Structure 1
Amino acid sequence: MKERVHVNDLTTLFICPSTEWRTLERKAIADCLYLRDSGGNPILFCVKGSYVDREADKKDLPRIYYTGQKLDRLFDLRYIRDMSKILKENRFDIVHCYNLDFIWGLCFVLLSNPKVPLLLTFNHFLNYTQKSLWQRWLFRRVDLIITFSQTTKEIAQETLPVSLRKVKIAGGGIDILPRPERVEKLVKRLGTIVCGAEDYERVKVVIYALHALIPSTVDLGIRVEFSLFMEDEQEEIKKALEELIVTLEMNEVVSFKPLLSEYSPFKEVDVFVSTSFEEPFNDYEIMALLSHVPVIFPRTASRQSILLKYKWVGESYYFEDARELKSKLLKLLINEQVYLNELQESHEQIKDLHGIEAYAQRVSGFYERLYAKRLRYLRHKANLN
């Protein structure tokens, strides 16, 4: 008789020693919260003082810190030592990693520990395959790769040394919060979220596009406001953007707003402009769609697949092309009701794939099955001996 394993009985080590604040980092925090709320025991490994650490502190999540200052993504002996020391305690039932750069040292450490399942959440653009002899040797220790969409699943299958059956789609795991009722008005609120200093050039393109858009909206009798949502700590990039806004004389159009929560921008804006070109999947974009907010997507294969399936939920633009972005914004503002109708019709389909309930059910199933499988393997091996 098989012993039933429940996710709330598991102690899980979440590995996210990143200094960035992107979809993978936000997902690590969200998964920790879900497991804790389900009765499980999550522990987060991160860099002290990082975005991840600060968010985990707000949520009162237990943490173990990397003993260095900044992790070397290619090879970090201190990281391997930290992992060896932590995993020797034998108190973790699952290890879940949130970045491909951090998986290799983890695989090396866990080769000598067959009891613990290892999962990787994957959300990367890779320019070359990761299939050298040593990568194949290490990657055989990975039990499962979790992806957010069909496109990211295909990227993983094409570039990583893993069998097709080990790559699964879990969806985005986006919670849905009620949005205030839309009221028809002449002021259209556009917005974007600034996640770090590397966003400066991309946000600058959006501001130039907005500057070119204003005369056209005046002719149509539409007033446009643009909000930049950002963390309080981002003073350097805020100062640089303020200088650009003053130079373009857009003080009355562009404003800075605090990012109070992941969902707060989508309660305010009528159109969300995404600048996340470096990720195949971006959680903010799906939050916007599920909040009935049309999205201007970066043009990538994964975003084009969304627009192919749900044609009028938004538009896409090419990086650094302010003229195209301006024309797409104008098209969306003129035909806003068409996009809102499509978002209403597509809501349940998007929710079924990317909603929090569906995601939680899938990931819980992965944890339980993999842990039970490893347990059966060890028992069978013990019986043979």
Structure 2
Amino acid sequence: MANIFRDQQNILYVCLGSKWGTRERMALKDCLIARETGHNVFLYCLRDSIVNLKAKALGIDCLYHVGSISLNFLKWHRLNAFVQYLTKFNISLVHCYDLSFLWPASFYLKRKTKISLVFTFNHEIKKFYKKFWHRNLIRRIDQVFLPIKEMADGVHGHLEVPIRKFEYTGLGVGRDIRISTSDKSTGAWFVGCAVGGHEKDIDFLRPAINAISSLNTKASLSKKVKLLIYSEISWDKFLLQDSVRELISDIGANDHIFLEFTDDLTEACLKVDAWIGLDAKVPIEDLLVNSLLNNIPSLAPRTYATKELFRKRGRLGETYKSGDAREIREKLEKIFNTYAGYIDRLESGRDELVSDFGIEFYKNQLLMGYEKILTKRERLIRHKRPKGL
């Protein structure tokens, strides 16, 4: 039986995103957890992507994807470097985060039965993958990590991964670095949001900017509202910096909307009075939950996950229809008009949130999941059944 705390493993993490969001932060978090436990970790990524730069700063060994990001069947031959890394570094476990990489990874690992294959899904799956060759490759997956149980039906329905292979991890957030209220300015309501640095179009930011401007024009609150748009990438490097500044200037919001650089978004989101999640492509963002865990009411894009979160735990925050500036304005107004009530609910519900989304629960689920599938792979090899579990 494998012992994840005793037996050193060589683990290859695959994260080919060019973005900087929940998925990329989870990949780096998993790398650090495995390394701190004593394992050798490697990150297979795009050269000079944000996750690559962050990984290098953390001292994580990076291996690079060669060729186009397109991974359709006719281009799988370009993954020779990936296959060579498996042998060169004696990889025992591959942990992937990109749905597009599921198929080639499963295909090549069919012939490498000693290597365990794990996937983390934290994004919505829109297509159905039920053709024969899909089902054949899906059988190669040993374990699927999901941040929330509400994702299970969607993943199972679209990919037909057996429910028995699911493990629920939470998001591993909520470091106890809460900012005391005395550290915050009382002259205005401060609202934060985050951008990743990869964006090329201003449309995703326009609703939040317009909502803040409209809220201040309406003057229904006792204090002005200021929006801090945070990024871990210098704004000077943004392709859309000029268009964002132009929009802010055109609506006369230079005194209320600011572009901020930060070394750590998880800390920045605790320095405001409320947080707006902007990414509607993931069921639930890590920064949003991190804010809740540190008593910051949050406004989240309305997904099945965020609706269920607030339904089960009370009004810890609000949801809005993605792209709807009017609803963002109305929900922020609601939060600030009854702010003490949100804080009380966050205080009383914090222990339950930590239990489901905190770092200790996440670390335990991740490592125990690894141990379970490594043990199953050992048994599989011992009984010479190479076609899967």
TM-score (normalizing by structure 2): 0.93
Aligned length: 379
Amino acid at match of 1:221: S
Q: What secondary structure, in the 3-state scheme, does the structure 2 residue paired with 1:263 have? A: helix
Amino acid at match of 2:352: Q
CA contact (8 A) 2:212 2:226 kept: no
- How big is the shift at 1:78? 4.7
From 205, 211, 214, the counterpart of 2:213: 211
Q: What secondary structure, in the 3-state scheme, does the structure 1 residue paired with 2:88 have? A: coil
Q: Which residue of 2 aligns with 1:144?
A: 143
Amino acid at match of 1:208: N
Mapped pair 1:240 → 2:239: no
Tell which deviates more after alignment, 266-275 or 182-191: 182-191
Q: Which residue of 1 aligns with 2:363?
A: 360
CA contact (8 A) 1:153 1:169 kept: no
In structure 1, runs of 5+ residues without a counterpart are: none
Deviations 1:16-68 (A, max 9, x none): 12212221111111110111122211111111111111110111101111122
Q: Which residue of 2 aligns with 1:105?
A: 104
Q: What secondary structure, in the 3-state scheme, does the structure 2 residue paired with 1:9 have? A: coil
| Matched ranges for 1:222-241 at <5 A | 222-230=223-231, 231-232=233-234, 234-241=237-244
Amino acid at match of 2:114: K
From 66, 72, 75, the counterpart of 1:74: 72
- How big is the shift at 1:90? 6.2
CA contact (8 A) 1:12 1:96 kept: yes
From 318, 325, 328, the counterpart of 1:325: 328
Amino acid at match of 2:343: L
Q: Which residue of 2 aligns with 1:194?
A: 195
Amino acid at match of 1:189: F
TM-score (normalizing by structure 1): 0.94
Separation in structure 2 between the aligned mates of residue 199 and residue 306 of structure 1, nearest angstrom: 30
Q: What secondary structure, in the 3-state scheme, does the structure 2 residue paired with 1:44 have? A: strand
- How big is the shift at 1:247? 0.2
Deviations 1:329-361 (A, max 9, x none): 100010111111111111111111111111100
Tell which deviates more after alignment, 348-357 or 88-97: 88-97
Question: Quick one: structure 1 residues 281 and 16, their matched pair in 2 at CA, closer, same or farther if it must change by over 3 Å?
Answer: same
Separation in structure 2 between the aligned mates of residue 171 and residue 295 of structure 1, nearest angstrom: 18
Amino acid at match of 1:168: E
| Matched ranges for 1:291-330 at <5 A | 291-330=294-333
Separation in structure 2 between the aligned mates of residue 365 and residue 165 of structure 1, nearest angstrom: 15
Q: What secondary structure, in the 3-state scheme, does the structure 1 residue paired with 2:141 have? A: coil
Q: Which residue of 2 aligns with 1:166?
A: 165
CA contact (8 A) 1:179 1:266 kept: no
| Matched ranges for 1:8-27 at <5 A | 9-27=8-26
CA contact (8 A) 1:93 1:116 kept: yes
- How big is the shift at 1:3? 5.8
Aligned CA-pair RMSD: 1.8
CA contact (8 A) 2:221 2:333 kept: no
Separation in structure 1 between the aligned mates of residue 292 and residue 60 of structure 2, nearest angstrom: 29
CA contact (8 A) 2:10 2:41 kept: yes
CA contact (8 A) 2:11 2:41 kept: yes
- How big is the shift at 1:175? 4.2
In structure 2, runs of 5+ residues without a counterpart are: none
Separation in structure 1 between the aligned mates of residue 222 and residue 174 of structure 2, nearest angstrom: 36
Q: What secondary structure, in the 3-state scheme, does the structure 2 residue paired with 1:88 have? A: helix
Separation in structure 2 between the aligned mates of residue 213 and residue 278 of structure 1, nearest angstrom: 26
